[in-house]
Structure 1
Amino acid sequence: MDLPLAAQVFDVLRIAPPSKLMLLEARALASAHVPPYPPDVPALLTNVDSRELALHLKDVLLTTYPKEHVVFVVEGEKKKEEKVETISGDDFSENTCLYVPALGEGTSFEAFAEIVAHLRAPNGCPWDREQTHETLRKHLLEESYEAISAIDSGDFLDMCEEFGDLLLQVVLQSQIANEEGQFNINQVVQGIYSKIVRRHPHVFGDLELEDVDGVLANWEKLKEKERGRKKDGKGLLDGVPLALPALSQAQEYQDRAARVGFDWPEIEGVLEKIAEEIEEVKRATDEKELADEIGDLLFALVNLARWKKVDAESALRGTNMKFKKRFGYVEQGARKQGRELSALPLDEMESFWQEAKKKES
């Protein structure tokens, strides 16, 4: 760590050395995709010795910092103020340093973990302090659905907010577990980090796989080995959450079974199965049999969606929203005429419905 160089840089910049600083050799970021440090701490990157490295640093910084974020290029007694987006890499040498001032307060994961811990501390929030894993369960479910709704809406500002709410639930649950001596958020992060590396030997190892199907098949083999090591008697489908919506659960069951070869060889078999299930629905003689056969038909339709690489849950959710919007147009049409919806004949409702469809195209 070159502390004298850091002191020299701050002398040239004519600013006081910050109380916290990330001091890194620029080459340490040569293979990075995001900055390997918390962005609410200033960073000094030393020995930016080539245009190629400077442009790579620019790409890495742009993943985290706004394009207009001001940085400083320092070489010897010379300094130049730049915006991240305008880093050109010209005139960079082994003596060039790049000083990156901190982002605002609360822009790092560490800062967020700290405020969540503060909420649970003796001088924190009474409501947060009394929460348990069980009392937060409904909030985790609610925030998950709200995040999905934001995705479906395509509203990126809404997505950003809802992902934050979902992150709060993960960090808060981990903080409670930490207080109980079970695990902490760092172990949560390390666990998923290790799992991703372990299950991607084609990225982080030397295994060669040709396509997505090969990746998924190998993924299932790795998971099978992990289940074998745990020796808990769980099968291939036991890892699918029972709380999943039925369409998502059905598609996940089918996906996992298909990865080990339990699948129709051609899509014709899927289509024939749907036709067969429709006939069985027609032949059902009582409510229980009808419910069973309709369930089988829905399961077969989900399988068709899987074969066509369509997410059945999202597809039905989209159709639900489309129906809601069109029906709302029918209701609005009745109100404009000063009539009750229930008083409209079916042909007039259908006319409004067709108008709604035309407006969508």
Structure 2
Amino acid sequence: MQNGGIVIVGLGPGEANLLTREAWDWLCQIPRVYVRTRHHPTVAGFPEGLEVVSFDDLYDQGEAFEQVYAGIVEAVLRLGQQPGGVTYAVPGHPYVAEATSPEIARRAREQGLEVRVVEGVSFLEPTFTALELDPYPRLALVDALELGPAHMPGFPPDTPALVAQIYSRQVAAEVKLTLSAVYPDTHPVRLVHAAGSPRQKVEDLPLYEIDRSAYVGLLTSLYVPPLEANTSFEGFQDIIARLRAPDGCPWDQKQTHQTLRSHLLQETYETLEAIDNDDPQEMCEEFGDLLLQIVLHAQIGSEYGEFSMAEVIRSISEKIIRRHPHVFGETAVEGVGEVLSNWEKIKEAERAANGTAETKGLLDGLPQALPGLNLAHEIQDRAARVGFDWETIDPVVAKVREELEEVLNAPEEEREGELGDLLFAVVNLARWYKVDPENALRQTNRRFRQRFAHIEKRAREAGRSLAEMTLAEMDAWWDEAKRLE
């Protein structure tokens, strides 16, 4: 490499005896090697007389890893332009869990620099040996530095995962918190330390203890066994696709978006009832039934080339990110009111971008199939977001009283319209009190049914029918039901 160039050498996972023959021969030929870090066991076994220069000073400056890696890339590219080029050595394999090598190779080619890669054993092979694990048929490979800051694991929980770069207890703690969003605290996991070296150690422990290990260090990885079957979204999609397959279920095969409409509506109401009952087990079941409808529609859409589940998820993800610049961007907001105001401005900009700003109004996106109370609440809420609202609650209350008077004084042919106005005014009052009118009425319906069922029960105990009872007698049992609540 008289005219410059870069040789990237993989140093293997541990001791120098795991260097490849090619790597050892090359290290014996050169006078100097630049290593990403001296804190790797192989460095101690380098050939005698080999000058070692490290980039540990960049780490010691306390910068973020991205800045450190960027600095290393720039330095190696600069050295590679000198006569004789440069040899740059990294732990493990140059293309396994190594951020600098791919970027160096890419930019070197852009600059016309020759790049040679000397293979190395990665940390994976000795880790699989330590775990006595065959990674096939599937294994998720995860970077702890990406997993730790996340809110949810980015891989299916029914797939085993190997998390690399658990280099400190702090990183272990961050990874633990992310995994705990899906896995039980007592989920059995395995920490693998210094795989492939004489200091190799495998710890079996529950998830909640991984940041308490005294052995966590630069060469630590975490193996996360899978949860039981049927716990991943991808697996559920496969189940639904199987139902629609030629050898699947005859009923599911015949369904269309239109035939499933009533089922979607029914499952939605059953889910709402579970929420009203505040029963976690019932909610879990009903949310599953509702998810079935969503995935089934997505499967049908995919079969007819309309849309796929990936497109559904991408569309809503991009919309959520776009409409929450105060979370995913730099926009600053103060309070819910400003969030909703920005939301409407963003939607208005979206309509303008889609060419529907002049044809589609603020209320056009509301489905007419919504229950009347819900629809009234949404209409008022959207109008309020752009300032079409009273400034205090007093005129809201006055409007309710006004509409009640109009109902009482209305001729029979106008009574329905006046009652509609009264209900609309009451919904507005509920909105001002931050009460969902549909939920409020559902709860009242539920209380009435429970109290009336108590009256029927007491009547049966007394050997009487409701038809022969007086209103006063039924009122007494009604009051009794209220006291029992």
Interval containing the TM-score (normalised by the shorter chain): over 0.9
Find the counterpart in structure 2 of residue 199 from structure 1: 323
Deviation at 1:109, TM superposition (A): 1.0
Mapping 1:297-312, distance limit 5 Å: 297-312=422-437
Q: State the alpha-carbon separation in 2 of the partners of residues 250 and 13 from structure 1.
A: 60
2:420 maps to amino acid: G
Q: Which 4+ residue blocks in structure 1 deviate beyond 4 angstroms?
A: none
Per-residue deviation, residues 255-307 of structure 1 (Å, max 9, x unmatched):
00000000011100101101110110111111x31111111111101101100
Gaps of 5+ in 1: none
Find the counterpart in structure 2 of residue 274 from structure 1: 400
Per-residue deviation, residues 218-242 of structure 1 (Å, max 9, x unmatched):
1111112222333341211111111
2:185 maps to amino acid: K
Find the counterpart in structure 2 of residue 337 from structure 1: 462
Q: 1:86 aligns with which of 209, 226, 251?
A: 209
Mapping 1:134-213, distance limit 5 Å: 134-213=258-337
Q: Is the 8 A contact 2:170 2:211 kept in 1?
A: no
Q: Which has the larger radius of gyration?
A: 2
Q: State the alpha-carbon separation in 2 of the partners of residues 24 and 108 from structure 1.
A: 17
Q: Is the 8 A contact 1:6 1:44 kept in 2?
A: no
Total equivalences in the alignment:
359
% identical equivalent positions: 50
Q: Is the 8 A contact 1:47 1:96 kept in 2?
A: yes
Deviation at 1:123, TM superposition (A): 1.4
What SS is found at the alignment partner of 2:380? helix
Deviation at 1:65, TM superposition (A): 1.0
Find the counterpart in structure 2 of residue 17 from structure 1: 135
What SS is found at the alignment partner of 2:343? helix
TM-score by length of 2: 0.72
Mapping 1:191-340, distance limit 5 Å: 191-232=315-356, 233-286=359-412, 288-340=413-465
Q: State the alpha-carbon separation in 2 of the partners of residues 143 and 64 from structure 1.
A: 25
Per-residue deviation, residues 158-212 of structure 1 (Å, max 9, x unmatched):
1111111111111111111111111101000000000000000000010100101
Deviation at 1:15, TM superposition (A): 3.5
Per-residue deviation, residues 88-139 of structure 1 (Å, max 9, x unmatched):
3443212111000111222111111111111111111111111111101111
What SS is found at the alignment partner of 1:132? coil
Q: Is the 8 A contact 2:191 2:210 kept in 1?
A: no
Per-residue deviation, residues 327-356 of structure 1 (Å, max 9, x unmatched):
111111111100001111111111101111
Q: State the alpha-carbon separation in 2 of the partners of residues 24 and 351 from structure 1.
A: 66
Deviation at 1:85, TM superposition (A): 2.4
1:24 maps to amino acid: V
Per-residue deviation, residues 3-43 of structure 1 (Å, max 9, x unmatched):
73122112112333342111122111132001011111111
Please state if 1:62 is matched with 2:180: yes
Q: Which one has the bigger helix percentage? A: 1
Gaps of 5+ in 2: 1-95, 98-120, 195-199
What SS is found at the alignment partner of 2:259? helix
What SS is found at the alignment partner of 1:72? strand
Q: 1:75 aligns with which of 173, 179, 193?
A: 193
